[in-house]
Amino acid sequence: MRIFSGIQPSGAIHLGNYLGALKQWVNLQEKNECIFCIVDWHALTVPYNPQELQKSISEKLIAYLAAGIDPNKSIIFVQSQVKEHAELAWLLNTICPIGELERMTQYKDKSKKYKDNINAGLLNYPVLMAADILLYKTQAVPTGKDQEQHVELTRTLARKFNQKFSNKEEFFPEPDSIMPEYGAKIMSLTDPKKKMSKSDDPKSYISLFDAPESITKKIMSAETDSGKDVIYNVTKKPGISNLLVIYSLLTEKSIKDIETEFRGKGYGEFKKSLAQVVINYLEPFRRKKKEFETKDSYVKEILEKGQARARVIAEATMKEVREKMGLI
Ligand code: ATP
Ligand code: LTN
């Protein structure tokens, strides 16, 4: 299968991004043709600092590598280096109903969060994402739960394009979402009713590269619920349930077994143990990050090679798209 996914170069990659997306990518690359993108154009739709953008892109690439994405198996590249993404996004805009965009949850959330910057890019964001995916004739898109709606719109646009411009034959495949059974929506540590998000306060997430002391501090002060029993109940105990999911995914123990282990022990002891689990799990990530930071030219080369490989596919698709749409 051809797989495509991306992460924005905003904030620091956190456990939610890892458990929802990156961890799946690492497994998928073994048996599929995978393309992983750092979607810098998407990150411009909310306020950002131009001086920090390139640094943030390098950090994301290092996070991909530290998490286990192998540049010999997968294509890794930066979105803005392959201009066909913008061209296809424009063309798909002409078949995308505005109403579909206005009902997108992420658009509604982000326009509430950035009231002074509700730009057209924020509304059109899912069309660019559809272009990212369709440009590579992708069959499946591994992401967290929050992106499911955007992948659904991508399917709608693929179908519309095929009907209008391809004699109803499948030119663009309609891509499936791939989501993990657990971990598709890891919640914020400071507000467990909201998803963990890189653009929020760093106290609300654990970055893949947080120092051990910082991990302990964040977990010990994570918002938990009234009561003291370590029990999974998303409606009554969203805070402790979120921590249980993280514990279970990182140790591969079932939630039931963890509940039994901490019966009668209270939140404090559970959190202390979780902090240790997270610190140990992320230790190789911190080590690999240091290693890659000293290999500047190797890291640059990965992006150059990735870009060249991505471009070959993108150019071929666009040639066909232009012909189908009556362009030269
Ligand atoms: P931002 O706050 O800048 O919007 P984000 O934290 O939502 O960032 P993205 O770059 O938008 O991160 O997402 C990268 C990938 O991580 C996507 O596949 C997304 O679905 C997934 N993801 C993001 N947040 C979570 C989460 N809390 N739980 C599980 N998966 C997540
Ligand atoms: N919108 C996604 C990032 C993204 C993406 C993509 C994911 C942009 N293009 C294509 C999968 C496939 C997000 O905010 N996480």
Is the shortest distance between the CB of 9 and ligand 1 below 6 Å? no
Question: Which two three-digit tokens encode residue 226?
Answer: 């009234």
- Please tell me whether residues 68 and 168 are part of one structural domain: yes
Q: Tokens 């979780």 correspond to what residue?
A: 274
Note whether 144 and 185 are within 8 A (CB): yes
- Please tell me whether residues 129 and 179 are part of one structural domain: yes
- Please tell me whether residues 317 and 245 are part of one structural domain: no
Residue 11 has pLDDT above 90, yes or no: no
What integer best gives the mean pLDDT of the chain?
96
The secondary structure element, H or E, covering residue 5 is strand 2-7
Give a yes or no: residue 282 inside a domain: yes
Look at 168-172, 207-211, 287-291 and tell me which has the smallest mean pLDDT. 168-172
pLDDT digits (tens, 9 = 90+) for 146-193: 999 999 999 999 999 999 999 878 999 999 999 999 999 999 999 999
pTM for the whole thing? 0.95
Q: What is the mean pLDDT of residues 18-45?
A: 97
Give a yes or no: residue 309 inside a domain: yes
Give a yes or no: residue 177 inside a domain: yes
Say which CATH number the domain at 170 has.
3.40.50.620
Q: What is the mean pLDDT of residues 130-157?
A: 98
128 alpha carbon – ligand 2 mean position (Å) = 9
DSSP helix/strand/coil, 48: coil
195 is catalytic: yes
DSSP helix/strand/coil, 168: coil
- Please tell me whether residues 11 and 91 are part of one structural domain: yes
Is the shortest distance between the CB of 6 and ligand 2 below 6 Å? yes
Residue 148, domain extent: 2-184+296-324
- Please tell me whether residues 12 and 88 are part of one structural domain: yes
Give a yes or no: residue 197 inside a domain: no
DSSP helix/strand/coil, 103: coil
- Please tell me whether residues 63 and 177 are part of one structural domain: yes
Note whether 161 and 186 are within 8 A (CB): no
Give a yes or no: residue 203 inside a domain: no
- Please tell me whether residues 286 and 300 are part of one structural domain: no
Q: Which of 312, 277, 5, 291 is nearest to 138 (CA)?
A: 5
pLDDT value for 328: 81
110 is catalytic: yes
Q: How many domains does the chain have?
A: 2
Q: Which of 147, 176, 179, 200 to mutate to test ligand 2, by most ligand atoms within 8 A of the CB atom?
A: 147
5 alpha carbon – ligand 2 mean position (Å) = 6
Look at 36-40, 177-181, 222-226, 316-320 and tell me which has the smallest mean pLDDT. 222-226
- Please tell me whether residues 218 and 173 are part of one structural domain: no
Is the shortest distance between the CB of 186 and ligand 1 below 6 Å? yes
Give a yes or no: residue 7 inside a domain: yes
- Please tell me whether residues 176 and 301 are part of one structural domain: yes
Residue 236 has pLDDT above 90, yes or no: yes
From 137, 198, 218, 237, active-site residue: 198
- Please tell me whether residues 22 and 109 are part of one structural domain: yes
- Please tell me whether residues 259 and 116 are part of one structural domain: no
How far separated are the first and last CA of the chain, in Å rounded? 30
pLDDT digits (tens, 9 = 90+) for 57-116: 999 999 999 999 999 999 999 999 999 999 999 999 999 999 999 999 999 999 999 999
Residue 199 has pLDDT above 90, yes or no: no
Give a yes or no: residue 194 inside a domain: no
- Measured in whole angstroms, how far is the alpha carbon of residue 120 from the centre of its chain? 22
Say which CATH number the domain at 239 has.
1.10.240.10
Say which amino acid occupies 275.
A
- Please tell me whether residues 48 and 136 are part of one structural domain: yes
Give a yes or no: residue 195 inside a domain: no
